[in-house]
Amino acid sequence: MVEAQDLSKKLLLASGIGMLFDAMDVGLLGFVIAALILAWHISPQSAGLLGSITLVGMALGSAGAGLYADRVGRKKAFLITLLIYSFASGISAFATSIGFLIVMRFITGFGLGGELPVATTFVLESSPPEKRGGRTALLETFWAFGSIVAALIGYLLIPLFTWRAAFAITVFPALYALYLRRTLPETPAFKGLKQTLNFKQNMVHLWQAKLRKRTILLWVLWFTANFAYYGMFFWLPSVLVLKGYSLIHSFGYVLIMAIAQVPGYLASAWLVEKIGRKWTLVLFSLVSAISALLFGLSNSLTLLLLFGVILNFSNLGAWGATYVFSVEQYPPISRATGLGWAMGIGKIGGVVAPYLVGALVAAKTPFAHIFSLFFIVTLIGVVVLLTLGKDVRTDESAFLMADTPNYSHEL
């Protein structure tokens, strides 16, 4: 029992380190975009495209890695996605044109998107049933620390060494995580499977009668969450710059806001075991929607910081609950596929939002109107969750196994 607990903690730490670096890369892109607007004089549309193409890669990576992890194992999927991310992120530091940078960001996104569902599945399947909700939400806390690291790099290094230094830094921690993960075993849940499913079988399984409603819910939920998150957070540094604050001051303000993500995740990790996954997600999502609206309406620095802090706290707390709620909706045989495809479909919202915001900014649309859009989209996700959502907190041995198909004659 003690060895199993030690292994669970080791897996959490290893996966968390990778999650931290993923968040650092995503967070840095917002600072890089703000710097490129000044250095290369790129248009808001080009800046939005740079963010959107990363999300296209993440969408394909999430869907593909989920299927791969359910077919050959979580550990192999870990290593491959991390190698892809590490290579492309480092090469981005040598970009000499926006076109080259767009290509590298697509490949980086593929690796990033692939790692996220696999890391979440890894932690959930290595945790005891009574702790898996808290530990899975705790994994997402590393995302908050990654955002803080990104803000620190943006605030301290980009003004001194340009945006290229930000991309160069992302290589080294990713390689460290790769080394660490080579020492980790496969999850007990995957090793215990008597069969694995191919692409067609997995997709049929996700849409069978007892899982269909859950699949629809998760696809809508992840779409609305990604639309709001990437639309707001990719543009947050640039929003402050466009509101008239200097680049270095804007980066400093974003750093202050990002610190609030840590207690948001920790609060979510505690609440998912106290009031349940669904109601924790509803609570944080409602606060996130309201704070986004008020942030867009704010005209003073004090109000921007206040509602920016609340937005970071609540939005990232909602993400912690989203991962736990989602990964528990499927049995082990299709868990990574189910989560991966929900994340992949959700990334379509992330693809649309940054480019849409860029177009709206170019059209001189007031920020109050832009953030009202995020308020409405988030509320749509809440309504669908309240209508279709149901907590799934059962023992692993009985966890939806009646819904698991028998394809042994086809394998």
pTM, whole model, 2 decimals?
0.78
Provide the pLDDT for residue 396. Answer: 43
In a domain, 64, yes or no: yes
Q: Are 150 and 24 a contacting pair, CB within 8 Å?
A: yes
Helical H segments across 40-157, by residue range: 44-72, 74-91, 98-126, 132-156
In a domain, 190, yes or no: no
Provide the pLDDT for residue 288. Answer: 95
Neighbours of 380 (CB within 10 A): 16
| pLDDT averaged per 10 residues in sequence order, the chain, 411 residues | 59 79 80 81 78 85 88 84 85 88 91 86 77 76 82 82 83 69 76 78 85 93 93 78 72 80 88 90 96 89 88 91 89 88 89 84 85 94 93 52 43 36
Find the domain containing 29 and state its range: 2-181+195-410
Nearest CA to 344 out of 29, 145, 60 is that of: 60
In a domain, 130, yes or no: yes
Nearest CA to 338 out of 84, 68, 66, 88 is that of: 66
In a domain, 89, yes or no: yes
Helix (H) and strand (E) counts for the chain? 17, 0
For residues 96 and 93, what is the distance between their CA atoms, to the nearest angstrom?
9
For residue 336, give both structure tokens.
Answer: 């990574």
Number of structural domains found in the chain? 1
Q: Are 232 and 404 a contacting pair, CB within 8 Å?
A: no
Provide the pLDDT for residue 3. Answer: 52
Nearest CA to 150 out of 31, 15, 252, 240 is that of: 31
Direct distance between the N- and C-terminal alpha carbons of the chain, in angstroms, rounded to an integer: 35
For residue 143, give both structure tokens.
Answer: 């995302």
Neighbours of 395 (CB within 10 A): 8
In a domain, 350, yes or no: yes
CA 206, 211, 212, 216 dihedral sign is negative
Q: Are 323 and 340 a contacting pair, CB within 8 Å?
A: no
For residues 263 and 69, what is the distance between their CA atoms, to the nearest angstrom?
31
Q: What is the CATH number of the domain that holds 347?
A: 1.20.1250.20
For 243, which DSSP code? Answer: T
Provide the pLDDT for residue 248. Answer: 66
Provide the pLDDT for residue 110. Answer: 92
Give, in degrees to the nearest 5, the angle at Cα 93 between 88 and 95.
90
In a domain, 188, yes or no: no
In a domain, 26, yes or no: yes
Position of tokens 């009985």? 398
Tell me which H or E stretch contains 6.
helix 2-39
Nearest CA to 266 out of 126, 119, 128, 144 is that of: 144
In a domain, 400, yes or no: yes
